[in-house]
Structure 1
Amino acid sequence: MPILTKLLSRFYRELLDLKWWLLSVFAAMFFVVSWVFFRLAGEAEITESLATYVYFAATTASTVGYGDMSPQTQMGRMIAAFWFFPGSLLIFSAALGRLAGGMVERIRRMADGFGSYETLHHATVIVGYNRDHTPVMIENLIAGQDGDKDIVLLTSSTEGDLPEGVKLVKSDRLDALSSLKRAAIPNAEKVMVYANSDAETFNTCLAIRELNETLHIAAFFEDRDTARRAAKLAGLEAIVSNASEALVRAAQDPGAGQVLMAMSAANVGATVYSATVGANVEVASLRAALYASEATLISLRQSSGDEFEFAPFPSQLMAGGTFYYLCQERLSAGQISDKIEGADVSITV
Structure 2
Amino acid sequence: MTSRHPGITSDALRAYMLLQRLKLARLFDRAFHAMADLHWTVLFALILAHAVLTWILLALAGEAKLHGAATFFYWYATTAYTVGYGDLSPQTDAGRLITALWVFPGAIAAFTTIVAKVLAAIGEVWRVRRSGKGDYSRMTASIVLIGYHAARTPKMIDELCADLSPDQTLVLLTRQTLTDLDARLRYVQSESLTSTAAMVRAGVPTASRVLIFTDSDSDTLSATLAATALAPAIAHVVCYFEDEDHARLIDQHCPEVEVILAAGPQLVARACKDPGASQVISALTSHLDEGATLFSLAWPDRPPRPFVDLARALLDRGATLLAIQPGRDSSPTFNPAADRAVGPGDRLFYVAAKRVDVATLTV
Deviation at 1:145, TM superposition (A): 6.3
Moved more, 65-74 or 93-102: 65-74
Q: Given the alignment of the two structures, is residue 284 of structure 1 paired with residue 308 of structure 2, yes or no?
A: yes
Classify the secondary structure of the residue corresponding to 2:133.
coil
Segment drifting more, 221-230 vs 4-13: 4-13
Distance 2:322 2:225 in 1: 32
Once superposed, what is the RMSD of the aligned Cα atoms?
Answer: 2.7
* TM-aligned CA deviation for residue 273 of structure 1: 1.4
Judge which range, 156-165 or 210-219, deviates more.
Answer: 156-165
Distance 2:141 2:157 in 1: 16
* Cα gap change, 1:127 to 1:305, in 2 (>3 Å): closer
Report what 1:134 is aligned to. 153
Q: Provide the residue aligned with 2:333 in structure 1.
A: 309
Distance across 1 between alignment mates of 2:187 and 2:105: 43
> Quick check: 1:273 aligned with 2:298?
no
- 1:3 Cα offset (Å): 5.4
- 2:121 is equivalent to residue 121 of structure 1: no
Letter in 1 for 2:316: A
Change (3 A) 1:233 1:84: same
CA distance in 2, matches of 1:140, 1:334: 25
In structure 2, the partner of 1:22 is: 42
For structure 1, which segment, 210-219 or 176-185, has the greater mean C-alpha deviation from structure 2 after superposition? 176-185
Residues 62-77 of structure 1 correspond to what in structure 2 (within 5 A)? 62-77=81-96
The Cα shift of 1:314 comes to: 6.6
Equivalent residue, structure 2, for 1:262? 283
d(CA) in 1 for partners of 2:55, 2:128: 41
Cα 1:108–1:145 shift into 2, 3 Å: closer
Confirm or deny: 8 A CA contact 1:131 1:158 kept in the other structure. Answer: no
* Structure 1 residue 105 corresponds to structure 2 residue 130: no
1:144–1:267: 8 Å Cα contact kept in structure 2?
no
Identity of matched residues, %: 32
Please name the residue that 1:342 is paired with: none
Shift of 1:334: 4.9
Cα pair distance change 1:162/1:243, threshold 3 Å: farther
1:332, CA displacement in angstroms? 2.5
Q: 1:239 to 1:146 in 2, by over 3 A?
A: farther
| Aligned match of 1:242 | 263
Which residue of the other structure, out of 334, 357, 361, is the alignment partner of 1:332? 357
Q: How many Å separate the matches in 2 of 1:188 and 1:173?
A: 19
Deviations 1:283-306 (A, max 9, x none): 223333333344333322223961
1:230 to 250, 258, 274: 250
1:341 corresponding residue in structure 2:
none
User: Which residue of 2 is the match for residue 53 of structure 1?
Assistant: 72
| CA positional deviation for 1:98 | 0.9
CA-CA distance at 1:45 after TM superposition: 2.6
- Displacement of 1:146: 5.5
SS in 1 for 2:238: strand
Query: Against the structure 1 CA distance between its residues 21 and 146, is the aligned structure 2 distance closer, same or farther, given a 3 Å change threshold?
Result: closer
Q: How far is 1:158 from its partner?
A: 5.2
Structure 1 distance, partners of 2:253, 2:297, is: 25
Letter in 2 for 1:56: W
| d(CA) in 1 for partners of 2:357, 2:185 | 25
Give the 3 Å change call, closer, same or farther, for CA 160–332 of structure 1 in structure 2.
Answer: farther
Q: Could you tell me which of 310, 313, 323 is aligned with 2:348? A: 323
Give a deviation string over 1:195-246, Cα, whole Å, max 9, x none: 2333433333344332422211111123334334334544221111111211
Q: Which has the larger radius of gyration?
A: 2
Distance 1:147 1:79, change over 3 A: closer
Deviations 1:70-123 (A, max 9, x none): 222222222221112111111111111111211122123223332222332322
- Preserved contact between residue 218 and residue 238 of structure 1 (Cα < 8 Å): yes
Task: Determine the structure 2 residue equivalent to 1:150.
Answer: 169
Aligned-pair CA distance for 1:163 = 4.3
Instruction: Name the SS for the 1:196 alignment partner.
Output: coil
1:305–1:113 CA distance, 2 compared to 1 (3 A): closer
TM-score, normalization by structure 1: 0.84
Any conservation in 2 of the 1:188–1:215 contact (CA below 8 Å)?
yes
Q: Between Structure 1 and Structure 2, how many residues are aligned?
A: 337
**Correspondence 1:13 to 2:33:** yes
- Provide the residue aligned with 1:191 in structure 2: 210
- Secondary structure at the aligned position of 1:11 is classed as helix
SS of 2:334's equivalent in the other structure is coil
* 1:295 maps onto 2:319 in alignment: yes
Q: Distance in 2 between matches of 1:72 and 1:292?
A: 78
Contact 1:129 1:158 (C-alpha < 8 Å) held by counterparts: no
1:159 and 1:101 map into 2 onto residues whose CA distance is 23
Say if 1:159 and 1:51 are closer, same or farther in 2 by CA, change over 3 A: closer
Unpaired segments ≥5 residues, structure 2: 1-20
User: Do residues 221 (structure 1) and 241 (structure 2) align?
Assistant: yes
- Counterparts of 1:108 and 1:321, CA distance in 2: 45
Q: Would you say the 8 A contact 2:130–2:181 is kept in 1?
A: no
Q: Mean Cα displacement is larger for which, 53-62 or 172-181?
A: 172-181
SS at match of 1:90: helix
